[in-house]
Amino acid sequence: MAECGRARPADPDSAHSRTGSPLTTKKRTQQSPGLRPRYQSSAPGHCFKKVTLTKPTFCHSCSDFIWGLIGFLCEVCNFMCHEKCLKTLRSLCSCMTPSVVQVPVAHCFGPASQKKRFCCVCRKQTEGSTALRCEVCELHVHADCAAFSCADCRSCHLDGTLEQDTFHHHWREGNLASAARCEVCRRSCGSSDVLAGMRCEWCGITSHAACYLNVPPECTMGRLRCMLLHPACVHLDSRNFSKMHCYRISEICSHDLDNSDDLEVSAVASKDVQPAAPESGKQFLKVFDGDDAVRRGFLRLVSLFRATRNEEVVEAALRAFYLPDEPQDYELHEVGGLQRLQGDDIVNRNGGPDNRGSLKDAGDTWILRAKTRDTDNIKVYATWPRSAAAFVPISISKHSTTASVLTEVLSQLGRQEDDVSRFSLMEVCMSSKQVQRQTLSPQEKILDKLQEIRKVSLRQMNQTRFYIVENRNRVVQVNLLIMGLPPLLNNDEYVQLIEDHLAIKSHLVAISHIYTSQGAVSLQISCFSEAERIYMLAKDTSVNNKTLMSLVIPEIMHSKLGDDVCPLLVFVNPKSGGMKGRELLYSFRKLLNPHQVFDISNGGPLAGLHTFREVPRFRVLVCGGDGTVGWVLGVLEAIRHKLVCREPPIGLVPLGTGNDLARILRWGAGYSGEDPLQILVSVDEADEVLMDRWTILLDAQDISEDGKDSGFLEPPKIVQMNNYFGLGIDAELSLDFHLAREDDPEKFTSRFHNKGVYVKVGLQKISSTRSLQKELQLQVDSQDVPLPNIEGLIFLNIPSWGSGADLWGSEADGRFGKPSIDDGLLEVVGVTGVVHMGQVQSGLRSGIRIAQGTYIRLTVSKPIPVQVDGEPWIQPPGHIIISAAGPKVWMLRKSKQKQKKSSAGVKDGRLESPSSRDRPT
C-alpha cells in the first residue's frame, strides 16, 4: 500500500503499523495488538482497528476520500476503509486468499516496470526494480511479499489433473486504469491512490469490490474472444515443468527470483541489517514459522510491548505470517531450545527493564508452532465440476487414514456405492512459484501428515489443500521442440543425432516432425521423467559447437475452436524499440492466452508456427522491425507445406527504425505507446491484402573485364526480399550504421538516436563518389537497360524507402505503371549521392526512374555494399538475379474506418469480428 495513500496513525500504539517500506528490510515488523478493541466486518480474515488519520487517505473498498480523522485499518493486510464500508465489505484479507483459489496455478514472476502499482499482498505501493509482477496475470508484489502470495494465476490450459470450470471470470483486485467503470453500477471503480476495484483477467470487465459478485459468473472472453485461444482448447501435460518453461519465458532472473524469499542469517549479520529503534517499553521478536524457515533464515520481526500477554504475542506472530488461525492453537518455542513462551506476559521471559542485551541484538529468536491436536478438520475438494460447494468438510482423528477419509468424502458426495479403491487423495501445495502434487497412500495417517506439514512450515500448511481424484490410466504426451541442429540434413541423420546426443528411449519417444530447413525436431514423449531429462539435457548439449535449445510445446485442440474463432499468433522481438518490446510482450500475454504469444528471441518464429501447425485458420501479429517481419515470412515460406493454414495473414506493430512496410500498411511510423488492447482490436478489424515477395540469388564469381566468368569465389546464396534491395551508397550507409550498432549496441535503443547516427554517417560520405554505372550491367525482363550516372541503385517492392520516403515519386509517367505491392513488378530507381538521398528524404525530389520489371539480372564487376530490407553486407563480384518468390503473401492493412465502439460488443464479445469473416477473393 502506498504511503501517500495510507493513514499513518498518530497514537503511540500504532506508530509501527507497517509504515516502513517492505523493500528496505526482508523482516517485516508487525505491531502487537495490545488490548485495543476489534471491529467486525462482512469479509473474513480482516483484523480491523480504529486509527487516527494524519494525512489524506482513501478507502480501499469504495476508493472515496475518507473525510474526518478516523479510519479503520486491517493489521494484517493494511486494508483501510470508512466505518460505513465495514458492513458491506467484500474484499478478503490477504491471509484468506488461498481459501478462494479455484484452480491452483503458479505465477511466473519477473521484474516489474517502473509504473506505479500496488502490492496485492500488503497493499502498499511497489518501489524500484526489486518489485515483481507475474508475466501472465495482473499480480504485483514486493519481493518479500511474494512468499505470502498463493498460486492464483490464470488457468491457461488443461492438464487433465484438476477438472475445474475454466469458463468463469478470473478476478484480480486493484491496479485498474483510473478511467475504469463498474460493470454493475456504471460508476468509476478505478483508482491511482489505492488498491481498489476488481478486474476480470480474461474479458477485462471491471467492477467495484462491493458489486462484482452481482456479475454473472460465466466469462464470455470479451471483445477479443474471436482472436483469443480459449484455455479449454489448449492441453499441456506439464507436471514438474515450471510455468516459465511452459510459457517459454526467459529465465534470466529465475535463480534470483526462486530464492527471493530466502534470507540467510549470515547475510543479515554481515550486512548488519537492524530494525528501527523501538519505542521505550517495546522490543522486537524474531519469529520463524517452521523448520524450513529456520533452515533458510526466513524470519519476521514482531514489535510488541514488554508487558504483552502470551496469547497476543502469538496473535501478532500469526498476523506477521498472514495466517488466519486462532492463537490458542499455537505457541512460541525458543529456537535451539525446548523452552516455550509462557506466563502472563513476556516480561516474565525476558527479565526486567535492565535486560538491554536482547534489545540491542534485535530481540529473542522464536519459532511459531502448532499445538498437538487429537482431532482436526480438513476440506477435501472434488476434481470434477459440482453445483454445490466446492469442498467437503471432514473431521479427522489420530486413527483417520486416507482410505477412511475417502470413504467419508464419497458418502457426503452421494457416491457411497462407488469403490473406494477407484479414488485417491491428492495433497496439493499452492506455492506461488510451483504447484506441487503428491498422492497419499491408502494407509497414511492424515493427522500425522498435517502435523508434519505444520512443523515444516505453517505458511505451507495454509497453502495446502486436499483433492479427491479418480484413478485413471491417463495417456501422457509431452511435446518438445529441439532446435539448433545442423540444417538441411536428411531425416535419418536427424534421428541419429537425437539418439546419439540425447540418448532417447525409443519406446517412450517418437519423432513427430522434422524441419530440415530450420535444423529442428519435434519429439512426442509418453513419460514425464523422460521428458524432463531430455529437456534439461538438451540445454547442456552442443552439436557442431552450437548449443541445442529445447521448448515445451502445448497441444492446441483445434476441433474445439469455434467456427467464428480465428486465433492470433503473436511474435514479439523484445530487443526492438528499447524496452517497448518487452512491455508489449507482457501486455499481450496478459490480454491473450500466453500460449499464443511468443518471444521471437527465444526459439525464433518456428516455435509459434509449429504450435499452430494444425489450426485451420489463424492470423499472425509481428512486433518488431522490418528485419523481424522478414524473419517470420522466411520461416513461414520454408515450412508452409507442414501447416494446415498455409497462408495466414500477417499484421505489424512497428518497433524498428525505418518500419517502411508498416507505414504502407497503415500501422504507423513506429510504436509510441499505444494501448495494446486497441492494437489488438485494430488487428481484428484489419483488411487482408496481398503482397509480392522476391527471391535474390547471389552468385559470387570472378568476373573478367570482358564479362566472362573465371571461377567461383564463394557458394551461391539465396535471400528473400520484401521491401527493397539496394546497391551502392544506400547500402554503404546501412553497413556503417550496422557496424556502429554492433560496436556499441546499448546506445541504439531509440529511433531518434538511430536516425541521428544515420545522418552522421551520411555527412561523412557526402564528398565520396562512386560511378556505379561502370561497375554494373542491368537486365530487366531480358532487356539490357543503360544506367545513368548514379551512386546507388534501389529495387523497390513497396512505395516506401528509408523511413517513409517516396523514392519512386507520385508524378504520372506514361512509360511506367503506378506501383503497387501486389502488381508483380519491381521498380528500379537510382540516386546520385548522399545529397540526392537527403532531398528525397525531405520530399524535395524523387529518385531517377530507370525501369519496372518482373525479372532482374545484374552483373557486378567489383565488390560492392548491398542491403536487403536493412540487412547490409559486402557482396563479391558476380551475378545477382531477382525473381518472384512463389505465391504472394497475405498481409493485414489497418482499416481506415473508425474502430467500432459498441458497448454491447465490447461487453460480451458478440460484436462481429472481421477475422471471423471469409477472406476477400
Domain finish residue from 507, 526, 553 = 553
Q: Average pLDDT, stretch 43-48?
A: 83
Give the Cα separation of 172 and 139 in Å (integer).
8
Domain finish residue from 523, 553, 583 = 553
- pLDDT greater than 90 at residue 32: no
| The Cα angle at residue 585 between residues 139 and 571, in degrees rounded to 5 | 145
Q: Long-range contacts: 188-191, Cβ < 8 Å, 24+?
A: 188/63, 189/63, 190/63, 191/58, 191/63
CATH code (residue 420):
3.10.20.90
Q: Say what the pLDDT of residue 6 is.
A: 32
For 394-419, the pLDDT digits (tens) are 999 989 999 999 999 999 988 888 88
Give the Cα separation of 9 and 413 in Å (integer).
50
C-alpha cell at 444: 497414511
Whole-prediction pTM: 0.85
Residue 333 lies inside a defined structural domain of this protein: no
Residue 523 lies inside a defined structural domain of this protein: yes
Same domain, 411 and 518: no
User: In a 10 Å sphere around its CB, with 0-12 CB exposed, 13-18 middle and 19+ buried, how is residue 843 labelled?
Assistant: exposed
Q: Say what the pLDDT of residue 843 is.
A: 84
Same domain, 788 and 658: no
Residues facing residue 914 across a β-bridge: none
Same domain, 409 and 484: no
Q: Say what the pLDDT of residue 738 is.
A: 67
Whether the Cβ atoms of residue 759 and residue 766 lie closer than 8 Å to each other = no
Q: Say what the pLDDT of residue 179 is.
A: 85
- pLDDT greater than 80 at residue 880: yes
- pLDDT greater than 90 at residue 102: no
Q: Say what the pLDDT of residue 394 is.
A: 92
Same domain, 733 and 676: no
Residue 211 lies inside a defined structural domain of this protein: no
Band (254; pLDDT cuts 50, 70, 90): very low
For 189-205, the pLDDT digits (tens) are 888 888 989 999 999 99
Same domain, 607 and 512: no
Beta strands in 760-847 (DSSP E): 776-780, 783-785, 792-796, 826-831
Q: Average pLDDT, stretch 5-12?
A: 34
Q: Average pLDDT, stretch 721-726?
A: 92
Residue 274 lies inside a defined structural domain of this protein: no
The residues, ordered by sequence, that sit 6+ positions from 380 with a Cβ below 8 Å of its Cβ are: 391, 392, 394, 405, 409, 425, 466, 467, 468
For 821-858, the pLDDT digits (tens) are 999 999 999 999 888 888 888 888 899 999 999 999 99
Residue 409 half-sphere exposure toward CB, CA atoms < 13 A: 30
Q: Say what the pLDDT of residue 577 is.
A: 66
Same domain, 426 and 523: no
Domain finish residue from 454, 470, 486 = 470
Residue 7 lies inside a defined structural domain of this protein: no
Same domain, 564 and 676: yes
Whether the Cβ atoms of residue 277 and residue 262 lie closer than 8 Å to each other = no
For 490-528, the pLDDT digits (tens) are 999 999 999 999 988 888 999 999 999 999 999 999 998
The residues, ordered by sequence, that sit 6+ positions from 781 with a Cβ below 8 Å of its Cβ are: 853, 854, 855
Q: Average pLDDT, stretch 57-74?
A: 86
Same domain, 663 and 529: no
Task: Kindly tell me the sign of the dihedral angle through the C-alpha atoms of 329, 334, 339, 345.
Answer: negative
- pLDDT greater than 70 at residue 73: yes
Q: Say what the pLDDT of residue 382 is.
A: 85
- pLDDT greater than 80 at residue 81: yes
Q: Average pLDDT, stretch 742-764?
A: 61
C-alpha of 708 from chain center = 57
Give the Cα separation of 302 and 315 in Å (integer).
10
Q: Average pLDDT, stretch 781-807?
A: 90
Same domain, 656 and 729: no
SS3 content of the chain, % helix, strand, coil (to 5): 25, 25, 50
Q: Which has the minimum average pLDDT: 299-308, 557-566, 800-809?
A: 299-308
C-alpha cell at 382: 472434488
Residue 573 lies inside a defined structural domain of this protein: yes
CATH code (residue 800):
2.60.200.40
Band (272; pLDDT cuts 50, 70, 90): very low
For 444-500, the pLDDT digits (tens) are 999 999 999 999 999 999 999 999 988 887 788 899 999 999 999 999 999 999 999
Q: Average pLDDT, stretch 214-230?
A: 91
Q: Say what the pLDDT of residue 430 is.
A: 87
- pLDDT greater than 50 at residue 28: no
Q: Ranked by mean pLDDT, which of 92-106, 226-240, 558-572, 806-820 comes out on top?
A: 558-572
As for how many domains the chain has, the answer is 4
Q: Say what the pLDDT of residue 21 is.
A: 35
Residue 354 lies inside a defined structural domain of this protein: no
Residue 398 lies inside a defined structural domain of this protein: yes
Whether the Cβ atoms of residue 392 and residue 465 lie closer than 8 Å to each other = no
The backbone torsions φ and ψ at residue 801, rounded to the nearest 5 degrees and listed phi first, read -145, 145
Same domain, 420 and 465: yes
Amino acid at 707: G
CATH code (residue 624):
3.40.50
The enclosing H or E element of 553 equals: strand 549-553
Tell me what percent of the residues of the chain surpass a pLDDT of 70. 79
> β-strand 330-334 against 300-305: which pairing, if any?
unpaired
Same domain, 764 and 860: yes
DSSP 184: T
CATH code (residue 530):
3.30.70.330
C-alpha cell at 616: 485451420
The residues, ordered by sequence, that sit 6+ positions from 579 with a Cβ below 8 Å of its Cβ are: 749
Band (732; pLDDT cuts 50, 70, 90): confident
Same domain, 729 and 779: yes
For 137-167, the pLDDT digits (tens) are 989 999 889 989 989 999 899 886 665 555 8
The residues, ordered by sequence, that sit 6+ positions from 782 with a Cβ below 8 Å of its Cβ are: 855, 857
Give the Cα separation of 117 and 192 in Å (integer).
8
Neighbours of 192 (CB within 10 A): 15
Tell me what percent of the residues of the chain surpass a pLDDT of 90. 40
DSSP 486: P
Give the Cα separation of 661 and 803 in Å (integer).
9
Could you list the residue range(s) of the whole structural domain that residue 644 is in?
Answer: 558-687
Q: Average pLDDT, stretch 283-298?
A: 88
- pLDDT greater than 60 at residue 651: yes
